[in-house]
Each structure stands twice: as C-alpha cells, then as structure tokens.
Structure 1
Amino acid sequence: MIRNPWRHNEPLDHAELARLLPPPADPRLAADRQDLLEEYLMSEIHQSDHAPAGAAAPAASPARRRPLRRAVLFATPVAAAAALAVVVSVGGAPGTNTVAAPALVKAPVVQIEEGSTVQLASTVREIAAAATARTTPQPGPGQFVYIKSRVSFMSTRNNVDTGESTTWVQPLHDREVWKSPDGTKGWLDEPGYQDKGGITLDNKEPRKQSTYQWLAAQPSDPDALLKSVYATVSGDRDHDQQAFREIGSLIREQLVPSALAASLYQAVGKIPGVVVIEHAQDASGRDGIALARLDPQTGERSEWIFDRETHQYLGSRGVQVREFDGVKPGTVVEQTTIVTRAIVDAKNQRPGAGQATV
C-alpha cells in the first residue's frame, strides 16, 4: 500500500524521490525498511500522482507510508539508489514507454469481523493437509516461476487545511511476475503501473529469502522453519508481524514446494496474534476462511484467504481495524487474488497447453 500527499499538477521530482531513500552506504538500514524502499521504487514509482476523475485537489501534506506487500526485487540500498537514477531518467524522458496510471477509485469498506483463536489449530491442520496433498511442479534449469494475479493497493491523500483525508485505491488490475529459481532473472508486467511491456527484475544479488532455491532448502520442521523466518527480520517493527508478512509474501508471489507449504502454515499457527476470520473475500469476491494478524503499529489486519472446501490459497486482503493516519476502520486497503501459478520455459512466456500449473 502506498500513501501519497496530494500535489495538484505537480510531478514527483528527483528531490522528492531522493527523500524517500536512505543514504546508499548506510549499513544500519533495517531489512524490513530496505524492502519497503526497494518495493516502492520498482513497483510504484512509474505511477502518475494524479487524482481520480472529478476529485477536488486538497492541499499537500508530508508523505506518510505504511508497509508494502509486494515482492522484494533488490537486496541492497546501493541497488535501490541505482534504480532511482534509472527510473528518473526513464520516467521523465519524452517518447518512452512510461504510461499514466488509471484514475484511482474510492476504497471499499467492509464490516469488521472479529477474529478468533478457537479454530486456529484445526484450520491450520486442514490447510496444511491440503497443501501436502497437492503436487507442486519443480522448476528446472532455465525455467521460470510464473504468477498472474489481480491486485489493488491503496493511496491516501490528506488535506492539511481541513484535516480531512480521502482513501483511494487502484482499480483492480492484472499483475504478472516471472522469477528464475535463483532470483537473478525476472520480469514484471503490470499494465498501467509499469512501463508498457513491463520492467526487468534481473538482479545479480537477489534477496535470497524471496527465491525458490532458498525455500527449497528450508527445513520442513515447523519450529525450525519458523526460527529460520524470524532470522530474516530485524529493526524496531513488531517481529511477529514481520514474520507473518514474510511468509505471506512467499505464498502470494512465489512457488512453494508442497511439503514446505504445509510446514509454513503450521509455523504461522505458532506466531503470536494469528487468528481465524470465518468470512473474508479475495479480490475476485470469493468468500473463504482466513488466517490473519493485526499490525499493532498501523492497525491494519492482513488476511490470507483460503477456499472453504479445498483450502487452496485464493488471495489476500488488508482491512483497517483501527483508525490510523486518517484511514477509517473497515477500509479495504489492499486486495489480491491468484489467477495462475505455473512453470514456464522463458521470461515473458505465459503458460500454454502441456505446461504445469498449480
């Protein structure tokens, strides 16, 4: 989710972008903060900072951001800084493939359902058993993990004169990602939110925790696996929430081997604060049961939604439970749904007949 101040007819310039980044050589940058900066750069920086059609332009206010939940693309602040320079030159030059993002729409609001731990153990067992029963294809040399989803993330703009804020979201749109097993090669195509045709995710030093190879090497014991996940988080933010998000990013935009998927879900059941939501809808409107956790800092509840019968992962939803930074309770701040997960033979190739899908 992205929070932007309103700037009427004022493009995001280099100086403003630079303020969003830490000094490139700063070794103290927390891993979670580093991830947010990298994700922001590569997934959102091409968007035009414009209002939905017919919306009035409030006065500008300082940008305030909450954690994003997009796939991590780069591993170091230096790489993020280098990416900034590329983005500025590409996004600002006439005649490039950069396109204006579609007008935002008002965020949906839902009734907040209370979470419970009463059925947590049994729900986790059922989800883990279903994951074990599924056959997951294994990518070979030169192949790519392909994930197509439909997503919508939020952008809040505040009026400093009136103190009012309006919560907008991106229209639901397609997002396609290709990832090599080792994470060094990839592609992202998100029409309207990236350059026409997509952008490269190639990186010589990918963040290993986001790769298929790292996942395949993880222990299958839930306790050992959870310890491994906690070892990847750092900083001042709630470590339990970071661990929950770390696993959530893997099951949403990566291919997880069946046995490991089962262990991941069992590990999640051991994270303090995780609850079951009986009714939650993914971005396609499918009703399912969810594993969820409330972020104590932002008041946003992250929900992973599973089919009620098959316990297949459907997608995710972020719901504001406690008002924060002008976002009202019940506001849906993000929605995703998985359309296709597959193994393909080349970057930019989409699955066809005879190719393994999940």
Structure 2
Amino acid sequence: MIRKKSRREESLGHAELARLLPAPGDPHLSLDRHLLLEEHLMSEIQPTAPAPAPSRRVARRVLVIGVPVTAALAGAFAFTALTGSGGSNPAAATPPPVEAPVVRIEPGSTAQLASTVEHIAAAASASKTPEPGPGQYIYIKSKVSYLSVLHTDADKSKTLVQPLHIREAWNSPDGKQGWLDEPGYQPKGGITLNSDVESSLNAPSYDYLKTLPTDPDALLKKIYKETKGQGNSPDQEAFTTVGDLLGEQLAPAKLNAALYRAAAKIPGVVVVDHAQDAAGREGIALAHVDQQSGDRTEWIFDRKTYAYLGSRGVQVKQADDVKPGTVLEYTAVLERAVVDAQKQRPGAQGTGA
C-alpha cells in the first residue's frame, strides 16, 4: 500500500524539521586526518608505474592546503582510505609530516667572509678525497627533512616538513647507474637511479666534475653562463648550483676549494656564525637569501675543521604565510665513501671519505 503524504508533512517548516531530526555531526577533521586523506587522494591519482628518480634539486614552492578543500576531499575519499584501498602503493607507508621547527634568525655578515672562505677552501684542498674507479660507486649517507605542505586553517597556518630520516644514494662515476634507498619515501628496498642524461651542471657526475675549471673566476663564469634564465635570479641560481655539488656528490679536492672561492664572489653571500644541521651539529655557515621567496640557504661547516656538515633552508622574510625563522629543510651528510658495488655500504671493501 502506498502511503499518501498528509498536508502537515508537506508543510513542515525549518524549525519543525530541526526539532525532529538529530543534530548534525561536527564535520571538522584533525590535521593528521586531513593529511592522511590528502595523501591517499594523491596516491589514487598517480600512475602505477615505477617511481622516477628524484630530481637533483628540491622544489621550494609551498603547497597550500585549505580546510574547505580538504574537507571536501575527506568526504569523497573517507571510505576508501578507511578500508585500506591502495595499501600496496609505496606512498601509503610514508610517515605523516610534522610541524616545521622554528629557530632564531641570526643576521649574516660579510665582515669575515674572505677569511672564512679561505679556511674552508684550505681544508677542502687538504682533504683526502677518494678516486672512484671503473665499476665502483660513490656512496652518500645523509639525514634529511624537506618541505611537505603549508596547511591553513582559518587564522592559523602550519608549515609541515618530513620527519628527519635517512637517505642513502649510490652513483657510478659516469652518472649512468645508481640506486637510492630512502625508507618511507621510496618503494621498499629502493629505486634505480639509472640515467642516460648527459652530465652537466644540472645533472653532474664525478667524471663531469673532473672536467670543470679549478680557477674560481673561470668556474663562476661557467656557472652563470650555463644556468642563465634559471631560478629566481642569476646570483641565487649560481649559489644554488654550487650548493647542489656539495651535498649528494663527490668532487675532487681542488674543485671543492674552487667552488667555495667562487661562491664567495656571488653578490649577497654572507657568513652566519651559528647554524645547525639535521644531525644537530652546530657550525658556521655560508648563506644567501632568495629575494623572491624570502628563504635563506645555509651551507654549514664544522667550526674547527671547516669540513662540510650539511645544509639548512630558513625563512627569513614573511612569505606565503610561512613565518620567519621556519626551517623549511635541513640535511646532514653522515658518510661519504667509495664502494665496490651498488647497494654496498662502506666496510672492509669500501674506502671512506
């Protein structure tokens, strides 16, 4: 039997409905829940092909996530996230990001720039850098944390970064073969870094670095010429390029010294007396501010030995709701060596750097 609606049922007002129906639930989700659902969405829309090798340079552009958008995504994907759909995707095991640390901004100075760079260059020249041979690999072990997302919630904003984690890379001297192991951020066991890209300043290999001039002026001229039109400014791009050759790479001792002396000639480079790397080691830094994004890149060196320790990116000017003092990324080189095989860690057969 079909029940007909009464006139009273047809004329119920908003107040009457509010009285009869249960109160709506609170749609607010916690920040962790927002991030979980966002991550699941990204894993669903990404192709299932093997993960590509990571780019040499970490992007600094801030991804802004607003609560209204996140809530909409949550409603659409809550069921699949809770039931574990996509659990076989490597991204599902990625640790949730954490709030970025905030440090006191120490002003930089050019007063001790010349003498500091000479100390650093002299230490680099005196270091015993191993020479990788055919069939060997350059091994770099680092502790890293990179920018993840800027989360906005009404009048609040949070800059989130990856939790500190270990990253190990192996690269052949010619740059054609390699391997990357970064648990939580790459598939279990790691991914190949094999490449047929011709080596250059933007994709350097050890063999390529050996061909670069060791005269600081000639080296800097080449860097400016080959990076023209890239980055936010020629000076910023030159500084960034030199920095890229200091981290996950091995360079001949004379070239390392030339790179530091060349960097000192870039306008805007200063010395920061106190900076801390991702391993908590404090040192002195060479730094440069990106005038467009407002963040300062710092290369950190041991205060006594002047050995390179790692790097740090600190926001020094308000931009994109990122507060000054926010640490956007930081790294620490824990080990640099030459080993006899891909995936082999330094030991009896490896030559430590």
| Fold match by TM threshold 0.5 | yes
Q: Compute the displacement of 1:300 (Å).
A: 0.4
Query: What residue number does 1:228 align with?
Result: 222
Query: What residue number does 1:278 align with?
Result: 273
Listed as ranges, the matches of 1:317-336 within 5 Å are 317-336=312-331
Query: What residue number does 1:244 align with?
Result: 239
1:267 aligns with 2:295: no
- The Cα offsets for residues 189-245 of structure 1, whole Å up to 9 and x where unpaired, read as 100011011111101124432211111111110001111222231326211111111
- The Cα offsets for residues 69-118 of structure 1, whole Å up to 9 and x where unpaired, read as xxxxxxxxxxxxxxxxxxxxxxx976465552112111111000000000
- The Cα offsets for residues 140-187 of structure 1, whole Å up to 9 and x where unpaired, read as 01111110000011222333x726421111111000011111111111
1:173 aligns with 2:165: yes
Asked if 2 retains the 8 angstrom alpha-carbon contact of 1:154 and 1:169, the reply is yes
C-alpha distance 122-141 of structure 1, shift in aligned 2 (>3 A): same
Q: Compute the displacement of 1:9 (Å).
A: 2.2
Q: Any gaps of 5 or more consecutive residues in structure 1? A: 1-5, 19-36, 52-56, 62-91
Q: Using the alignment, how far apart are the partners of 2:282 and 2:184 within structure 1?
A: 28
Asked if 2 retains the 8 angstrom alpha-carbon contact of 1:342 and 1:351, the reply is yes
Q: Using the alignment, how far apart are the partners of 2:117 and 2:346 within structure 1?
A: 31
TM-score between the two structures when normalised by the length of structure 2: 0.77
Asked if 1 retains the 8 angstrom alpha-carbon contact of 2:121 and 2:260, the reply is yes
1:143 aligns with 2:146: no
Query: What residue number does 2:24 align with?
Result: none
2:348 to 349, 353, 356: 353
Listed as ranges, the matches of 1:29-44 within 5 Å are 39=54
C-alpha distance 42-189 of structure 1, shift in aligned 2 (>3 A): farther
Listed as ranges, the matches of 1:102-251 within 5 Å are 102-159=95-152, 162=154, 164-209=156-201, 210-235=204-229, 237-251=232-246
1:313 aligns with 2:302: no
Q: Any gaps of 5 or more consecutive residues in structure 2? A: 1-33, 71-84
Asked if 2 retains the 8 angstrom alpha-carbon contact of 1:99 and 1:194, the reply is no
Asked if 2 retains the 8 angstrom alpha-carbon contact of 1:59 and 1:158, the reply is no
C-alpha distance 43-142 of structure 1, shift in aligned 2 (>3 A): farther
The letter for the 2-side match of 1:121 is: A
C-alpha distance 168-43 of structure 1, shift in aligned 2 (>3 A): same
Q: Compute the displacement of 1:58 (Å).
A: 2.2
Q: Aligned to 1:346, what secondary structure does the other structure show?
A: coil
Q: CA RMSD in A?
A: 2.8
Q: Using the alignment, how far apart are the partners of 1:243 and 1:17 within structure 2?
A: 33
Asked if 2 retains the 8 angstrom alpha-carbon contact of 1:43 and 1:193, the reply is no
Query: What residue number does 1:295 align with?
Result: 290
TM-score between the two structures when normalised by the length of structure 1: 0.76
Larger CA Rg, structure 1 vs 2 = 2
Asked if 2 retains the 8 angstrom alpha-carbon contact of 1:304 and 1:316, the reply is yes
C-alpha distance 197-345 of structure 1, shift in aligned 2 (>3 A): same
